[in-house]
């Protein structure tokens, strides 16, 4: 079975541009979360979606938005990119509910120049 | 330009030794704890998890210990192998409800295994 898949794997954007990152959860998983990981740090929570509804939001500006589709895949959008947005963006999925294992994809490497 | 270096704790061991990686968590409401292994350029890989109603759980070559009194978590790796070299993160999440899925990650520890 496929794990959590993310696209694109690498991308370079210019300051002020917009980016859309995509995630397909493990089949049967209804919960998708997004994390930002900058070099040398642990992942930081951005959003969680469950059954197409936003269930949690981390301490990120409104330039960050996300949505979950009926097939449970998800998109993370970042507007007005800043150099500091350069990071590895990770998607994680789970069945949802306490105690269910949370699995991560390999991430999308975003470089803002 | 300014360079950013890694300031994570490091642990160096010889192949075949046992490794112990420690983690302190801050949220006493956390109910579920997970250890992840992250190799360079890859996403975090699930290793083992534990619920707050347990104090020990064993997997294949790995054991997680939870001490809720002092809010401490540890990962023990038996017979450490060079392939275990990676950054190890602990993560916590509160029980159920809308908070589930929001993992809070620890600082991370760089494990280096020498042949």
- Residue A74: the pLDDT is 98
Write down the number of H helices and E strands in chain A.
0, 11
- Residue A105: the pLDDT is 97
Distance from CA of B4 to the nearest CA of A (A): 8
Distance from CA of B78 to the nearest CA of A (A): 23
- Beta-carbon contacts of residue B14 (< 8 Å; ≥ 6 apart): B80, B113, B114
With CB atoms and an 8 Å threshold, state whether A40 touches B45.
Answer: no
d(CA A18, CA A9): 16
Give the residue on B whose Cα is nearest the Cα of A98: B96
Residue-wise pLDDT for B71-86, tens only, equals 999 999 999 999 999 9
With CB atoms and an 8 Å threshold, state whether B4 touches A40.
Answer: yes
- The number of angstroms, rounded, from the C-alpha of A82 to the middle of its chain's C-alpha atoms is 17
d(CA B105, CA B37): 12
Average pLDDT over every residue of B83-112: 84
Residue-wise pLDDT for B41-73, tens only, equals 899 999 999 999 999 999 999 999 999 999 999
d(CA A101, CA B44): 13
Tell me which chain A residues have a C-beta less than 8 angstroms from the C-beta of B101.
31, 33, 48, 50, 55-56, 92, 94, 96, 102
Residue A81: band (very low, low, confident or very high) from pLDDT cuts 50, 70, 90: very high
Hey, how many other C-beta atoms are within 10 angstroms of the C-beta on A92?
27
- Which strands, in side-by-side order, build the sheet including B62-67? B19-24, B72-77, B62-67, B56-58
Tell me which chain B residues have a C-beta less than 8 angstroms from the C-beta of A2.
none
CB–CB contacts below 8 A, A to B? 77
Residue A89: band (very low, low, confident or very high) from pLDDT cuts 50, 70, 90: very high
Percent of chain A scoring above 90 in pLDDT:
85
Residue B97: band (very low, low, confident or very high) from pLDDT cuts 50, 70, 90: low
């Amino acid at each position: 079975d496929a794990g959590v898949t993310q696209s694109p794997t690498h991308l370079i954007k210019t300051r002020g541009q917009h980016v859309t990152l995509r995630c397909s959860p493990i089949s049967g998983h209804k919960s998708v979360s997004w994390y930002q990981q900058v070099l040398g740090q642990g992942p930081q929570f951005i959003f969680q979606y469950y059954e197409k509804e936003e269930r949690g939001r981390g301490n990120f500006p409104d330039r960050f938005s996300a949505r979950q589709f009926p097939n449970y895949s998800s998109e993370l959008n970042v507007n007005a990119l800043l150099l500091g947005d350069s990071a590895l963006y990770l998607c994680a999925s789970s069945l949802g509910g306490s105690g269910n294992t949370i699995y991560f994809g390999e991430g999308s490497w975003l470089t803002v120049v | 330009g300014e360079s950013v270096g890694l300031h994570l704790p490091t642990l160096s061991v010889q192949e075949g030794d046992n490794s112990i990686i420690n983690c302190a968590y801050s949220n006493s409401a956390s109910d579920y704890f997970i250890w992840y292994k992250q190799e360079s350029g890859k996403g975090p890989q699930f290793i083992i998890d534990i619920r707050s109603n347990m104090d020990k759980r064993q997997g294949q070559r790995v054991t997680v210990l939870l001490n809720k009194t002092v809010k401490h978590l540890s990962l023990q790796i038996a017979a450490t192998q060079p392939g275990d070299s990676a950054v190890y993160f602990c993560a916590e999440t509160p029980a159920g409800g809308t908070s589930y899925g929001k993992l809070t990650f620890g600082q991370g520890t760089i494990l280096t295994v020498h042949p």
